[in-house]
């Protein structure tokens, strides 16, 4: 029997429900349990694919091509999971499914209602992630904050869950804030009391409270929370602020959280092995050297937009026992002030993915600087496309080279749509999405990094390297070091005569884990240390 853990949160948003859910996943896996995680988003968009990174942060892409919430990235980074379409769903998907059933007459003329039809559909989507799989635990994270109107049908659905599968198979965990008020020099429990009361009003009694707190709190505070929220004292976990998110599983473990969960759900008790996690964390916290990497983007004030890149750099730092200092540089600033000055101190330059032409010339200028000054360079997706444009313009003398995304009339569309893509008009779900295989020749930096000739990496783009320019570019010193197995699509490029210049059409950052830093990021950081 698969057990379900439901994680909700209140008082404030941004308390880190995703990290909490991931940390619980990490701890349960360390005890040999088979776990999956699922994120429910109560907003009406069908998926985050068409949402602005300003509002929603990064769009995380899975192997099977789902454009999902960035919390799935945490799930994968903290566990051995490879998530997919079924690990995330939104209110938009629920209503879309219900409305199409209604149009097809599936409800046989009955009135279609939030209870039971919407709640039944939500429960079906929750169970779908476990169907046909032998899982011990499904951890379900409900997005939003308790008290939000749009979250109500989801809370009602999880409230009903024990009626369907038995109370002993369900566990509610609640993430809350226990603030420290400086002027009074006091820890305050009232916000938690009120928000738990709100949850109990709708029929959910949380059994474990994860209390975000700046300072450790006393036994009395614990007792008070326990009494007012109707939970046992051992089930009150202090989620104290830490330097690295990767410490969170250990903080929970010290307070016996995994033991409490295992006991409550009657899961098998196995020996715990967290040694690899602890070793990586030790390296992360005790670097023997440091490096500075400039990341050139257009959402630099909003780092959630580049979440996986940021984390992949941290993992690569740990792999090299090195602290990575990331300098976020606005591509438009480079357009105004030039790359040489702004990137002076960078020991590595990274140009990540993106859409639209804002800041493009700044990114191209940063790449020129990396190429000419022989600074290690990693280009990702749009970053690779810009590297191709830069090379075509400066090295091959095709002055007006561009991507047809930015200039549809360019005489040299070195980056272009494939013929078969030109007819597609819809914005949602029309990209090349998800994992595709790639073949890597020997004697390339890519091969050295991966140590194998065939890899699979995740994509999210429309435009491609234009094969008509293959000869001209390769003769001038660009190496195509990754191709689709049929040889039609360019997946990785390198530049000879440079210490480390690698750019890829896919997104390696999505597959980096603390326990398995991504080979390209690892070697990029290593090159920056030379
Ligand atoms: N805008 C480019 C394309 O659609 C690159 C996309 C990206 O960097 N993710 O091909």
Q: Which helix (H) or strand (E) holds 353?
A: none
Tokens coding 367: 């790449």
Query: Is residue 342 reached through a cis peptide bond, with omega within 30 degrees of 0 on the bond before it?
Result: no
Identify the active-site residue in 170, 381, 386, 504: 381
Residue 509 CA to ligand 1 center (angstroms) comes to: 15
Model confidence at 56, in pLDDT bands (50, 70, 90)? Answer: confident
> Could you report the per-residue pLDDT of 61-90, keeping only the tens digit for each?
999 999 998 999 999 999 999 999 999 999
Distance 403 CA to ligand 1 centre (A): 10
> How far apart are alpha carbons 117 and 108 in whole angstroms?
13
pLDDT digits (tens, 9 = 90+) for 28-38: 999 999 999 99
With CA atoms as reference, report the closest residue to 212 among 185, 184, 244, 189: 189
**CA 277 distance to own-chain centroid:** 19
382 lines ligand 1 (CB under 6 A): yes
Average pLDDT (250-277) is 96
CA 494 to centroid of ligand 1, rounded, Å: 19
Cis peptide before 116 (omega within 30 of 0): yes
- Rounded to the nearest angstrom, the distance between the alpha carbon of 430 and the centre of ligand 1 is 12
Give the ligand 1 atom nearest the CA of 460.
9
203-237 residue pLDDT tens:
999 999 999 999 999 999 999 999 999 999 999 99
Between the CA of 471 and the centroid of ligand 1 the distance, in Å, is 23
Confidence check: pLDDT of 429 > 60: no
For ligand 1, say whether the CB of 353 is within 6 Å of any of its atoms.
yes
Average pLDDT over residues 302-325: 93
Determine the atom of ligand 1 nearest the C-alpha atom of 355: 1
Ligand 1: nearest atom to the Cα of 405: 1
**Which pLDDT band holds residue 418 (cuts at 50, 70, 90)?**
confident
Phi, psi dihedral angles at 453 (to 5 degrees): -95, -20
Residue 50 pLDDT = 80
Residue 479: which pLDDT band, with cuts at 50, 70 and 90? Answer: very high
Q: What is the mean pLDDT of residues 377-387?
A: 98
Asked if 381 is an active-site residue, the reply is yes
Nearest CA to ligand 1 atom 8: 353
Residue ID of nearest Cα to ligand 1 atom 9: 353
Cα(170) to centroid of ligand 1, in Å?
42
Task: Kindly report the backbone phi and psi dihedral angles of residue 32, in degrees, each rounded to the nearest multiple of 5, phi listed first.
Answer: 75, 15
Residue 155 in this model has a pLDDT that exceeds 80: yes
Query: What is the per-residue pLDDT for 164?
Result: 96
Q: Copy the structure tokens of residue 386.
A: 């810009």
- 504 in contact with ligand 1, CB cutoff 6 A: no
3-state helix vs strand vs coil in the chain, percent to 5? 40, 20, 35
Q: Give the distance (Å) from ligand 1 centre to CA of residue 498.
A: 25
Q: Which of 58, 315, 509, 518 is catalytic?
A: 509
DSSP output for 273-301: --HHHHHHHHHHHS-SEEEEEEEEES-TT
Q: Cα(350) to centroid of ligand 1, in Å?
A: 15
Residue 424, pLDDT above cutoff 70: no
CA dist 359 and 530 (Å) reads 30
Beta-carbon count within 10 A of 289 CB: 10
CA of 91 to the centre of ligand 1 (A): 27
Structure-token pair, residue 72? 């799935």
| pLDDT at residue 426 tops 70 | no
Beta strands in 124-181 (DSSP E): 137-142, 170-177, 180-181
Pocket test for ligand 1, best of 461, 466, 508 (most atoms within 8 A of CB): 461
Predicted confidence at residue 13, as pLDDT, reads 86
Q: Is the CB of 270 under 6 A from ligand 1?
A: no
Task: Measure CA 294 to chain center.
Answer: 20
Q: What are phi and psi of 158, to 5 degrees?
A: -75, -25
The three-class DSSP label of residue 227 is: helix
Q: Minimum mean pLDDT among 164-168, 389-393, 423-427, 475-479: which range?
A: 423-427
What is the tens place of the pLDDT at every residue in 489-519? 999 999 999 999 999 999 999 999 999 999 9
Residue 489 · residue 503 · CB < 8 Å: no
- Distance between CA atoms of residues 361 and 358, nearest Å: 8
pLDDT at 468 over 60: yes
- State the average pLDDT for the chain: 95
Ligand 1 in contact with 381 (CB < 6 A)? yes
pLDDT of 419 reads 72
CA 487, 490, 496, 500 torsion: positive or negative?
negative
Residues of the chain with pLDDT > 90: what percent?
A: 92
Position 67 scores a pLDDT of 93
Whether residue 461 has its Cβ less than 6 Å from ligand 1? yes
Under the banding of pLDDT at 50, 70 and 90, the label for residue 430 is low
State the pLDDT at residue 425.
Answer: 61
Look up 234 and say whether it is catalytic. Answer: no
pTM of the model: 0.94
Among the listed residues 246, 194, 253, 188, the one whose alpha carbon sits nearest the alpha carbon of residue 215: 188
Q: Is 504 a catalytic residue?
A: no
Which atom of ligand 1 has the smallest separation from the CA of 353?
A: 8
Ligand 1 atom closest to 464 (CA): 10
Which among 60, 353, 459 is the best mutation to test ligand 1's pocket, defined by most ligand atoms within 8 Å of the CB? Answer: 353
* Burial of residue 225 (number of CB atoms within 10 Å: 0-12, 13-18, 19+): buried
Query: Is 377 near ligand 1, meaning CB less than 6 Å away?
Result: no
Atom 5 of ligand 1, residue of closest alpha carbon: 382
> Looking at ligand 1, which atom is closest to the CA of residue 352?
8
Report whether pLDDT(284) > 60. Answer: yes
Angle (deg, nearest 10), helices 219-229 and 190-201:
20
Q: Given this model, what pLDDT does residue 163 score? A: 97
Q: Is the CB of 406 under 6 A from ligand 1?
A: no
Among 73, 89, 84, smallest CA distance to 153 is for 89
Is the minimum distance from the CB of 355 to ligand 1 under 6 angstroms?
yes
pLDDT at 111: 96
CA distance 210 to 178: 10
């Amino acid at each position: 029997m698969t057990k379900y853990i439901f994680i909700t949160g209140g008082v404030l948003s941004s308390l880190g429900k995703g990290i909490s859910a991931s940390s619980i996943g990490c701890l349960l896996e360390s005890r040999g349990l088979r776990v999956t995680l699922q994120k429910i988003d109560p907003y009406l968009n069908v998926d985050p694919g068409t949402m602005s990174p300003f509002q929603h942060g990064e769009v995380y892409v899975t192997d099977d091509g789902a454009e999902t919430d960035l919390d799935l990235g945490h799930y994968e980074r903290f566990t051995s999971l490879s998530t997919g379409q079924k690990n995330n769903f939104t209110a938009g998907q629920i209503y879309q499914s219900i409305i199409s059933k209604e149009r097809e007459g599936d409800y046989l003329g009955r009135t279609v209602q939030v209870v039971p039809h919407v709640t039944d559909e939500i429960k079906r989507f929750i169970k779908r992630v476990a169907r046909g799989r032998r899982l011990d635990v499904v951890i379900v994270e409900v997005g939003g904050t308790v008290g939000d109107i749009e979250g109500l049908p989801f809370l009602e659905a999880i409230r009903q869950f024990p009626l369907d599968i038995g109370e002993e198979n369900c566990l509610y965990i609640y993430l809350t804030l226990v603030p420290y008020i400086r002027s009074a020099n006091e820890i305050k429990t009232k916000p938690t009391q009120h928000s738990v009361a709100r949850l109990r009003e709708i029929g959910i009694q949380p059994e474990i409270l994860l209390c975000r707190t700046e300072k450790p709190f006393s036994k009395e505070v614990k007792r008070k929370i326990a009494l007012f929220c109707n939970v046992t004292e051992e089930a009150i976990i202090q989620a104290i602020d830490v330097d690295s998110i990767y410490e969170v599983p250990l903080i929970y473990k010290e307070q016996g959280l995994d033991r409490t969960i295992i006991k409550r759900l009657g899961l098998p008790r196995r020996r715990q092995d967290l040694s690899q996690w602890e070793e990586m964390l030790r390296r992360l916290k005790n670097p023997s050297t440091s490096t500075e990497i400039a990341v050139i983007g257009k959402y630099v004030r909003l780092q959630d937009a580049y979440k996986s890149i940021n984390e992949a750099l941290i993992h690569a730092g740990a792999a090299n026992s090195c602290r990575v200092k990331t300098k976020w540089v606005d591509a438009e600033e480079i357009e105004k002030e030039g790359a040489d000055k702004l990137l002076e101190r960078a020991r590595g330059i990274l140009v990540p993915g993106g859409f639209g032409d804002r800041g493009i010339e700044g990114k191209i200028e940063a790449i020129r600087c990396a190429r000419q000054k022989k600074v290690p360079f990693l280009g990702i997706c749009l970053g690779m496309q810009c590297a191709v444009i830069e090379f075509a313009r400066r090295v091959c003398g095709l002055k007006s080279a561009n991507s047809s995304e930015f200039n549809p009339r360019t005489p040299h569309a070195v980056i272009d749509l494939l013929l078969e893509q030109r007819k597609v008009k819809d914005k949602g779900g029309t990209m090349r999405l998800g994992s595709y295989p790639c073949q890597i020749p020997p004697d390339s930096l890519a091969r050295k990094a991966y140590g194998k000739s065939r890899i699979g990496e995740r994509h999210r783009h429309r435009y491609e390297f234009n094969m008509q320019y293959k000869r001209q570019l390769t003769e001038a010193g660009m190496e195509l070091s990754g191709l689709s197995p049929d040889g039609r699509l360019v997946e990785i490029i390198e530049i000879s005569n440079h210490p480390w210049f690698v750019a890829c059409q896919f997104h390696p950052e999505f597959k980096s884990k603390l326990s398995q830093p991504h080979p390209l990021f690892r070697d990029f950081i290593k090159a920056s240390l030379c």
